[in-house]
Structure 1
Amino acid sequence: MEFERLSSLILFKLEQNQQQTEPSKIKIISAGNIEIIASDQVVFCKAAGDYVELNLKDHQQRLFTGSLKELESSLPKTFLRVHRSYLVNVEFIRSLNSKSSQQVEASGAGFLQLHDSMEVPVSRRIMPTVRNYIKQN
């Protein structure tokens, strides 16, 4: 059990290093144009119907055509599912708060404070996983 936890931590650290040195690319197709965005520029992703809203470091937003699940499978392991509608780039996590925030949906057990005061909800079901991640890192 300890070996499995240690090996998954090592794999995660390798993914983190790879994202910093050679980030994966996300292809955004909109109105006939193709835009390539590096994964290290994405702070969090939010499901928005048939699209995914990518919230970038510079506070810009882009729409990815497809589901959050599709996008999650193409992103590096440095993205953590914190809610059924949200993926967060762990590089931008500043703190985990268990109190509700007026800016975040009330359906969560808490929220993550991210880069430049961005916030996302954390679901009750996923809260222990997020807490464990923060304790380990």
Structure 2
Amino acid sequence: MTVLIVEDDLPAQRRLVRLLRAHPEYRDACVVCADDVTEARRVLASEAVKLVLLDLDLHGDDGFGVLSAASTAGTMVVVVSANTHRALRAFDVGVVDFVAKPVNAARLMIALGRVQPDAIRRRPAALIVRSRHGLERVSVEDVLYISGADDYVAVTLMSGRRLLHDEPIAHLERQLPSDFLRVHRSHIVRRDSVRRVLDGPGGTRIIELRNGARVPVSRRRVALVLRTLLRAMAP
């Protein structure tokens, strides 16, 4: 899962990352940080973000500018701000919780706990893949990996069949269960389809799948991917 922390103060940003990792649900999360509204909106448009921890004062910009993008993406938001007089407005627009600064660790854990009941959503047993030939229902169990960029993705099935889908990869990622792992901005793989992880050029990593296909692992996600796969392979 991906969590976005929107905070312009670097020490506060790092502390939020540490506190987030202390919660068992988010120990292996992919944490992305942004320090302004523009970058936060870019991440929300390109990643399937599950949760945003949002400061409201960002280099003079209003953090409420992030909320509309989060709402459009179906992402939950916990506001972390010293501007407690704005809490009522924040709740009016649908945030999960409002944690006042300076952040109390126990209070943040409570807020993260409140996210969980809403976060456990039923995932579909099938994906509806829309291509130039029309709509096709594809069982999630048949999906091996997904690759793509911009507005089109390729869904590769266990059978080797390849379907083109005319939506961004982040849209499909939001529909997939935890059996799938985003390893790169352009690649999602089925965890149990990974045969091995190879060393790539310049210290990069490459995943080899059971069908022989190879997909790159982004530098930002290497630690998360290795940690997740090692845990899955442990006896």
Structure 2 letter corresponding to 1:27: I
- Is residue 169 of structure 2 the alignment partner of residue 68 of structure 1? yes
Deviation at 1:59, TM superposition (A): 1.2
Q: How many percent of aligned residue pairs carry the same amino acid?
A: 27
- Is residue 196 of structure 2 the alignment partner of residue 123 of structure 1? no
Look up the SS of the partner of 1:125 in the other structure: helix
Structure 2 letter corresponding to 1:4: P
- Taking a change above 3 Å as real, the CA distance of residues 126 and 50 of structure 1, as seen in their structure-2 partners, is same
Contact 1:57–1:115 (CA under 8 A) maintained in structure 2: no
- Taking a change above 3 Å as real, the CA distance of residues 32 and 129 of structure 1, as seen in their structure-2 partners, is same
Segments of structure 1 that go 5 or more residues without pairing to the other structure are 9-17, 101-105
- Is residue 64 of structure 2 the alignment partner of residue 44 of structure 1? no
In 1: Cα distance, 2:161 partner to 2:185 partner = 22
In 2: Cα distance, 1:114 partner to 1:24 partner = 22
Bigger relative contact order, structure 1 or 2 (CA pairs below 8 A, ≥6 apart) = 1
In 1: Cα distance, 2:211 partner to 2:147 partner = 17
Query: So what's the TM-score if we normalise by structure 1?
Result: 0.74
Deviation at 1:99, TM superposition (A): 2.5
CA RMSD after TM alignment: 2.9
Contact 1:24–1:76 (CA under 8 A) maintained in structure 2: no
Segments of structure 2 that go 5 or more residues without pairing to the other structure are 1-20, 29-121
Query: So what's the TM-score if we normalise by structure 2?
Result: 0.45
Contact 2:191–2:229 (CA under 8 A) maintained in structure 1: no
Larger Rg over CA atoms:
2
Paired residues, number: 121
- Taking a change above 3 Å as real, the CA distance of residues 67 and 40 of structure 1, as seen in their structure-2 partners, is same
- Taking a change above 3 Å as real, the CA distance of residues 133 and 66 of structure 1, as seen in their structure-2 partners, is same
Deviation at 1:37, TM superposition (A): 0.6
In 2: Cα distance, 1:30 partner to 1:3 partner = 40
